[in-house]
Each structure stands twice: as C-alpha cells, then as structure tokens.
Amino acid sequence: KAVVSTQSTGHLVDELLSSIDQPLKVAKDPKKNKDYLLCDYNRDGDSYRSPWSNEFFPPIEDGNAPSDRMRKLEEQANDAFDVYREQYFDGGISSCYFWDEEHGGFSGAILIKKTGDLKNKFRSSWDSIHVIEAHEKGAGRNAHYKLISTVMLWLQNTREGSGQMDLGGSLSRQVEKDLPVTADMFSHIVNIGGMVERMENNIRGILETVYFGRTLTVLNDMRSLVDLESKKAHDKLNQ
C-alpha cells in the first residue's frame, strides 16, 4: 500500500514546476495496447505504472502501487477524463494517478497530451499537468481541494517568409475550493473534473493572449511595420 506524504508531494510539485520545460513522455501499455503518460507520480525506478492495467512497464517486483480505494478512484477518473479529453481535444492521451496522503486525504495527478497534426509546416503540442490535493472535512460532507495546473504549449515552424520559428513554454495557475461530497467516491471526480475543466479553459484564454498577443506586440514594438517618419509628419499635421 503506497502512501506519499504531503511534504514530499509539495516538494514534487515545486520540482515539477521548476523543471517543466519538456513535453510529457508517452509509453504504451502492452497488456491493454493503450498509450499512457509518464511522470514522477507513476514512476518507480525506471518503470512506469499504466493507469489502464495498473501494472509497471518494464515489469518490477513490488512496485509503488495505489491502495484499493485509490485504484478505484483512478479507474473512475481515467474513464471520466477520457470523455472530457475527447470533448475538448478531439484525440490526444490522458492519464490519472491517485495516491493516499500520510496525514489524511489524497492527492492526484491528471495529465493530458495532444500533439497537433503537421499542417502547413506547423508542429504543435499541448501538455497539461494538473496536481490536486483533497482533504475531507465537515464530518465528511465537504472536501477542500487545492489544484495547481501547468499547461505547456509548443509551436514550431519553418517557412520561407519567416525562417525558423519556435514559440513555446508554459503557464501555471492555482486555485483552492471547498465543495460538497457524498458517500459516493465519484463525487470527488465531479468536483475535481469541474475544477480542472474551468482551470484549463481559463489557462487556454491566457495562453491565447500571451502567446499570440503579447509576444507579437513586443516584436512589433521593437520594429515598426508603419513608416515612423511619415507617421510623425502625419501626426504633426493632425495636431
């Protein structure tokens, strides 16, 4: 039965945030013939646990496996996020991992990866990493959730007009919320799913503004596409 303490989770999140500059890696579960995403939360040595078969590949003895309760939560989360992923990403890969916390409550990681089709010489990819911490309170009627989300977005292109271009990086945001829960474990999935969805929608909007607005404005501020001397003369005339 695997238990990861809150302290090391926080530490892992910090590490994860500071080391995020590589897109998520993918491996194939040979038993279920399905792709899954790799991160520190499903890792044990050089092996990674698949959320589909719950087995490590390459196989190892006594790998860091979740408790039965967390495994059940994982199965429900993976099924639900499969649907979410299809509705927003129309493809891609998702993987959810959950684990008990030493001092009560549980944590999870929800990963999503979408690689864009090579179109007009553009390569692109979106990688989400959502880390959630949950603590039940109020005699089991509410839970407090903390979500830290990072989205990596990469766009690359080689074209005659613009040469070689790379636009990439990541943005992070976090949110905390108290939400009602029931005896049914799935109420956690409803809560977490809603938080992740709203968070991703929010970050998507910010990415759009920062990537395609802000970075381009900086370029066009450094060199003007409008003839500056003519503009000065024009402005003077219109004073």
Partner 1 sequence: SGINAEYGSSGINAEYGGTPALVTKDGSVDGSKVFYDPGSNKNFTYKYLTGEATNVEGGTRDNGAEKWRKAVEDALAGYLKDNFPAFGSAVYGKLEGDTVSLTVAIENHKYNPDNFYCGKWTSRWSVEFPTSGGYAKVSGHMKVQVHYYEDGNVQLHTKKSAEESVQMGSVEEGARNLVEFIGRAEREYQLGINENYREMSATTFKSLRRALPITKNLVDWHKLHSLNIGRDLMNRTT
Residue 130 — φ and ψ, nearest 5°? -115, 120
Nearer to partner 1, 73 or 109 (CB): 73
The single residue among 1, 69, 159, 234 that binds partner 1, judged by CB under 8 A, is 159
The stretch near partner 1 (CB under 8 A) out of 33-41, 58-66, 100-108, 194-202 is: 194-202
The stretch near partner 1 (CB under 8 A) out of 7-15, 41-49, 113-121, 138-146 is: 113-121
Q: Is 126 in the site for partner 1 (CB under 8 A)?
A: yes
The single residue among 32, 34, 71, 114 that binds partner 1, judged by CB under 8 A, is 114
Site for partner 1 in 15-44 (CB under 8 A): 21
Q: Is 179 in the site for partner 1 (CB under 8 A)?
A: no
The stretch near partner 1 (CB under 8 A) out of 22-30, 34-42, 79-87, 137-145 is: 79-87
Exposure class string for 129-142: b at 16+ Cβ within 10 A, else e: bbbbbbbeeeeeee
CB of 220 to partner 1, least distance (A): 7
Q: Is 52 in the site for partner 1 (CB under 8 A)?
A: no
Q: Is 116 in the site for partner 1 (CB under 8 A)?
A: yes
Q: Which residues, in sequence order, are bridge partners of residue 148? A: 131, 174
For 135-199, give the secondary structure using H, E and C: EEEHHHCEEEEEEEEEEEEEEEEEECCCEEEEEEEEEEEEEEEEEECCCCCHHHHHHHHHHHHHH
Residues 99 and 108: their CA atoms lie apart, in Å, by: 6
The single residue among 119, 139, 183, 235 that binds partner 1, judged by CB under 8 A, is 119
The single residue among 35, 124, 135, 179 that binds partner 1, judged by CB under 8 A, is 124
The stretch near partner 1 (CB under 8 A) out of 47-55, 63-71, 97-105, 152-160 is: 152-160
Residues 49 and 32: their CA atoms lie apart, in Å, by: 12
Nearer to partner 1, 228 or 237 (CB): 228
Cα 112 to the chain's mean position, in Å?
Answer: 6
CB of 4 to partner 1, least distance (A): 25
Residue type, 119: K
The stretch near partner 1 (CB under 8 A) out of 31-39, 51-59, 103-111, 214-222 is: 214-222
Q: Is 69 in the site for partner 1 (CB under 8 A)?
A: no
Nearer to partner 1, 135 or 173 (CB): 173
